[in-house]
Amino acid sequence: MKKLFVTDKYNGKKLSKFVLDSYPYLSYNTFNKSLRQKDIKIDGKRINKDCNISTGSEICIYISDEFLFPTTNLDIVYEDDNILIINKTDNIEVTGENSLTSIVHKKYSNCAFLPMPCHRLDRNTTGLILFAKNKESLDILLDKFKKHEIKKFYLALVYGIPSPRKARLESYLFKDNKKSIVYISDVFKTGYQKILTSYSVLETYNNNSSLLEVEIETGKTHQIRAHLAHIGHPIIGDGKYGINSVNKDFGFKYQQLHSYKLEFDFKSDSSILNYLNQKCFIKK
């Protein structure tokens, strides 16, 4: 049995929305079947149909873990004794309850050290996530990310065709934690932090869109999404920083942003991970 509590975000929303968001790998059909079998309780009462829920309500779910955390969905790009690289799907957080990390921990539950992620991606950004499989590797990799000795490259489908076709953008970002949104300024303001985002146009399309390769030198929340929107070329499908009418026309539900390449560019000794230096992992 799994127990969840409804947050303000889902107040007045459908039970199905809350449960399926909480368990991204649970299918809608399995959810409906569990309702028919009265395998879901709201505040201690079994229900047999979808309904609206309220903040603070207790949701008890009697569904097998194999439907909630199907480890077969892990797309493992590379693995050895020290690291694990997974291609993350959309609609799942990297950390937290019912996240990619929790699925990884279930798969590796018999290991002395549970693999830990070394960086993050937004819930609906897909792509490569690097996990450390032991404490020494985790410490090394976190240090290398901090020193920018591991490079991350993204593919972004944006609206319009940026000019120039290659640029290094320098701006300032402010994160509003209450609204879960960031703001970009071209000049420094109190509370804003400097961000650096580089892009190059890989392809252009007849529907006024283009595919960019993006690299960030600073890893701030929503940096790529907000920075590209700031210059007038939002990522298609982005419901927060994009253009709703454009997203609807293109038919994408989530931002078309994919972390497709990791490059290891160590400048100093990396102990047990020296063998990774100059290696590159790609998943398009």
Higher-confidence residue of 1 and 97: namely 1
* Second-level CATH architecture of 153-260: 2-Layer Sandwich (3.30)
Asked if the model's pLDDT at residue 69 lies above 80, the reply is no
Higher pLDDT, 122 or 64: 122
pLDDT over 60 at 72, yes or no? no
Q: Which of 55-69, 120-134, 156-170, 252-266 has the lowest mean pLDDT?
A: 55-69
Confidence of residue 70 (pLDDT cuts 50, 70, 90): low
Residue 151: pLDDT over 70: yes
The residue extents of the domains of the chain are 2-65, 71-149, 153-260
Mean pLDDT of 227-232: 98
Residues 166-189 have a mean pLDDT of 96
What pLDDT band is residue 221 in, cutting at 50, 70 and 90?
very high
Q: Please write the tens of the pLDDT for every residue from 77-87.
A: 999 999 999 99
**Band (107; pLDDT cuts 50, 70, 90):** confident
pLDDT of residue 66: 77
Q: Is the pLDDT of residue 119 over 70?
A: yes
pLDDT (mean) for 162-167:
97
Does 93 have pLDDT greater than 80?
Answer: yes
Active site members = 122
High-pLDDT (> 90) share of the chain, %: 86
pLDDT for 25 equals 78
Is 0.85 topped by the overall pTM?
no
CATH entry, 2-65, from 3.40.50.9100, 3.90.180.10, 3.10.290.10, 3.30.70.1400: 3.10.290.10
| pLDDT value at residue 97 | 75
Average pLDDT over residues 34-46: 94
Residue 71 in this model has a pLDDT that exceeds 70: no
2-65 and 71-149 in the same fold: no
Mean pLDDT value of segment 173-177: 96
The mean pLDDT value of the chain amounts to 94
Q: What is the DSSP string of the chain?
A: -EEEE--GGGTTSBHHHHHHHHSTTS-HHHHHHHHHTT-EEETTEEESS--B--TT-EEEE---HHHH--GGG--EEEE-SSEEEEEE-SS--SSSTTSHHHHHHHHTTTSSS--EESS---TT-EEEEEEESSHHHHHHHHHHHHTT-EEEEEEEEEES--SSSEEEEEEEEEEETTTTEEEEESS--TT-EEEEEEEEEEEEETTTEEEEEEEESS--TTHHHHHHHHTT-PBTT-TTTS-HHHHHHHT-SS--EEEEEEEE--SS--GGGGGGTT-EEE--
pLDDT > 90? residue 134: yes
Please state which architecture CATH assigns to domain 71-149.
2-Layer Sandwich (3.30)
